[in-house]
Amino acid sequence: MLTLRTCSPLRYNLLPHKLKPKPLSLLSFSIKPFSHKPKPKPKPLSLSSHSDSHSKMSSSRPSAFDALMSNARAAAKKKPQTNSPSSKKRKTLEPQNPKTINSSSIVKTQESNQEPVVDVQKPISNQPIKPQDSIDAKPVDNAEKPVKKAKVVGVNEKIAELKSNIALLKKKGSEFDPKMVACWEKGDKVPFIFLSLALDMISNESGRIIITDIVCNMLRTVIDTTPEDLVAVVYLAANKVAPAHEGLELGIGDASIIKALAEACGRTEIQVKKQYKEMGDLGLVAKASRSSQSMMRKPDPLTIAKVFETFQLIAKEAGKDSQEKKKNRIKALLVAATDCEPQYLIRLLQSKLRIGLAEQTLLAALGQAAVYNEQHSKPPPNIQSPLEEVIALRIDRQDAAKIVKHAYSVLPVYDKIVPALLSNGVWNLSETCSFTLGVPVGPMLAKPTKGVSEIINKFQDMEFTCEYKYDGERAQIHYMEDGSVEIYSRNAERNTGKFPDVVLAVSRLKKSSVRSFVLDCELVGYDREKQKILPFQILSTRARKNVSVSDIKVDVCIYAFDMLYLNGQPLLQEQLKVRREKLYDSFEEETGFLQFATTLTSNDLDEIQKFLDAAVDARSVSEQDNILASLYLCLGTVPDLILDHNEGLIIKTLDRDATYEPSKRSLNWLKLKKDYIESIGDSLDLVPIAAFHGRGKRTGVYGAFLLACYDSNNEEFQSICKIGTGFSEAMLEERSSSLRSKVIPKPKPYFRYADTINPDVWFEPTEVWEVKAADLTISPVYRAALGVVDPDKVEETLLDTRMLKAFFFSPIEFVLILGISLRFPRLIRVREDKTPEQASSSEQVAEMYTDQKHNHPNNQDDNGDD
């Protein structure tokens, strides 16, 4: 055993602090530990005596320690050792000049990596001193402070920390601190698990206020840590990958997702499909599959930026093998997903988030987050006291939500709204995000009314105008400065390829002074030979994509009624009278190609009634249209008996409260149809969610269908009626055949219906049907507009039908399970221009029921099932 105790003082006194070697316990040969007992005045050592003693004990081969001592002697000869107190006391490690050591010798020893002992010779300047290396070392200079060892936190620990803190998102905005939740450093990419946990929390809540708080605090956390990820977070929370008008969609069917899920989780497609059938939610299947799978090496955690970027790449994949490439990208995401991430990855890919997070709630939360984020958004400087500050904050949040919602209705592009919020604040959003040519705004909509006298009452002392309401496709035509044209549907879908004849017509019929415009109009099927408007059913037979002008069999006429933009100037804030004048001055009319909507400006009741009669021409929509459409499809021509097909009138204010309100159903626009006077008023657009097998003559097809309206607040379809009338045999066969491919094994969790309803089959919500009915009634069986009926009316209904004996509830309690239903519903047509989420809302149903009670106070509700 080699004893080296006597060398300790020499070794530490000769070497500067930075070059002192690691503890000798790290050497490859066996030694005894040093004795660190400081002595006030150590005796000077003789280098020669040490050398002699060491040479006797060492072998012929020079050791690493010999090299160390040789270097020390060489340094001592060049510069004698000082006797300053700092050099004698080891507790005070003053930095010394590293040139006192022969650097060339150190380099030589560093080049040798055959033995671990070489590490002793490395300068420690790149390896900070650790406490265990020298227990009595005390740094003096800040530049020489030891660097703390970074705390290594694994992915599982971070997830656990995040899950323990995620509930803090429920806090009120004034009590929330983003730093309490974030488990990542500022500037780091936001982990996808953060969004997944927030969405999972939202799915377990039903209150609109608390959901808004969760989303607001989630967005504030992202703004505080990684604001550049905010656009991706908002898009994913809205379940989108791009603005609607860009037409960028994921384009993935369940079959591709199931295949990717099976490969990612080491399962067979049969196993996944079986579990999907049992659980009814592919997201839950993905979560269960990933949680039961172990992995040798876990991929890097998913980030929101990575997921969003991958979604966009999936949407852009086209051409040969595109489905295979999409599947592989999905597979890569699933392999890296953990905890509840697979569940929400799959739901986002299916575009079926269904957690009760409406886009309007997201927009309101975004505005509120901007208010709380004082770094980017400052309210107007009009606060005088702390109390005013509290009140002002509440008002500011409400105002900010309205500002963001309005900005999105004018410019529905998160890529522009979010950066504008972060850079200029919410209070300047109306200036930084305005109506832009080439980006469609949501169309302004009209509220239904039931008679001419009601119109006169609502528009007292106001100038208003009546226009024909045409039965076609709503369109917004954008003409660019470079002469290009884009046509968008009411859903902001790009329809330019569907209507090449319209592109030619507007380009030809605009006046030479017009350089750019946005036209709000109706595209209506038109027989130019007979100069007659065609039914919507005939218009719907046109091809949808890549239409060639030479192949067009159904011509269309542009019926223009509003101008939203002209020569670089937005007109949304102009009154209708001004917008209409600019419309008339910008185009030349040509019958059958481009015409202005027929109008009447009057407040005379008889005159308006005659105008309405002339518009609708006393036609029967459902029967006549279906017959004519069938004849057209069989004969390829339009029968002579056809009449002009207009739905009714649109009544608009002209010069007061007459601005254009995008995406809003306004009281300044009213619609009146002939059959409004005979029934409940407006027709309803409803979604078939289930069916009952037919009997007798209807054996082999579905005999009746369960229809639902859509509640956007809770993202659910609420049952409203069964329908079995209004079908011809051909139509019933067509609808049955179409829906058979949409059958699902069990109802979706976002279907709201009574347990007493037992359909034979359930459907994936895909179609929208326009339905008329005699009136609306409250019902314990259906769930439309659940809970909006007043308790007094419930009590009358219960007494009238002797239901108090069957239900042991008070009227207040019973109202919570009472919905609204339709009496004697009949099918008008299939609305191929609408998605299920654009069906009539529960709010509309409630409004129609309320208006019916006010207009017909003597009507009694009937709870009989239809």
- The pLDDT tens digits of the residues spanning 314-325 come to 999 888 888 899
CA 54 to chain centroid, in Å, comes to: 77
How confident is the model over 491-541, as pLDDT tens digits?
Answer: 889 999 999 999 999 999 999 999 999 999 999 999 999 888 888 888 888
155-357, CATH topology level: DNA ligase i, domain 1 (1.10.3260)
Q: Decide the pairing of beta strands 716-723 and 751-752.
A: parallel
CA 61/CA 124 separation, integer angstroms: 27
Question: How far, in Å, CA of 8 to CA of 496, rounded?
Answer: 88
Q: Is residue 622's pLDDT more than 90? A: no
Answer yes or no: is pLDDT of 395 > 80.
no
Is 50 exceeded by the pLDDT of residue 211? yes
pLDDT of residue 49: 43
Average confidence (pLDDT) over 458-471: 85
In 3D space, the residue among 590, 528, 536 whose CA is nearest the CA of residue 560 turns out to be 590
Q: Would you state the pLDDT for residue 278?
A: 83
Q: What is the CATH number of domain 684-855?
A: 2.40.50.140
What amino acid occupies position 864?
A: G
**Across 86-95, 404-413, 601-610, least confident range:** 86-95
DSSP letter, residue 412:
-
Average pLDDT on 344-371 reads 90
Identify the pLDDT of residue 70. 66
pLDDT of residue 143: 46
Window from 479-493, 510-524, 738-752, 815-829 with minimum mean pLDDT: 815-829
Mapping DSSP to helix (H, G, I), strand (E, B) and coil, where does residue 477 land? strand
Residue 543: how many other CB atoms lie within 10 Å: 13
pLDDT in tens, 846-858: 888 887 765 555 4
Q: Summarize pLDDT for 134-154 with one digit per residue, the tens.
A: 334 444 444 444 444 344 467
Q: 708, exposed or middle or buried, with CB in 10 Å at 0-12, 13-18, 19+?
A: buried
H/E segment holding residue 464? strand 464-470
Q: Lowest mean pLDDT of 103-112, 201-210, 546-555, 589-598, name the range.
A: 103-112
For residues 340-346, average pLDDT: 93
What residues are annotated to the active site?
A: 469
User: What percentage of the chain exceeds 70 in pLDDT?
Assistant: 69
Q: At 240, list the tokens.
A: 């989108």
Higher pLDDT, 245 or 55: 245
Q: State whether residue 149 is helix, strand or coil.
A: coil
Q: State the amino acid at position 312 in one-letter form.
A: Q
Residue 483: pLDDT band with limits 50, 70, 90: very high
CA gap 58, 61 in Å, rounded: 8
Q: pLDDT class for 719, splitting at 50, 70, 90?
A: very high
Query: Of the given ranges (304-308, 326-330, 422-426), which has the lowest mean pLDDT?
Result: 422-426
If one compares 296 and 140, the residue with the highest pLDDT of the two is 296
Among 218, 688, 663, residue whose Cα is nearest residue 442: 663
CA distance 430 to 569: 15
Average pLDDT over residues 772-782: 85
What CA–CA distance (Å, rounded) separates 302 from 330?
12
CATH superfamily, domain at 445-676: DNA ligase/mRNA capping enzyme (3.30.470.30)
Q: Which residue has the tokens 């919905």?
A: 819
Confidence of residue 48 (pLDDT cuts 50, 70, 90): very low
pLDDT at res. 249:
87
Query: Closest Cα to residue 438, out of 482, 501, 404, 405?
Result: 482
Q: Residue 359: in which H helix or E strand, if any?
A: helix 359-372
The full set of domain ranges for the chain reads 5-144, 155-357, 376-432, 445-676, 684-855
- Mean pLDDT, the chain, whole residue set: 77
CB atoms within 10 A of CB 449: 24
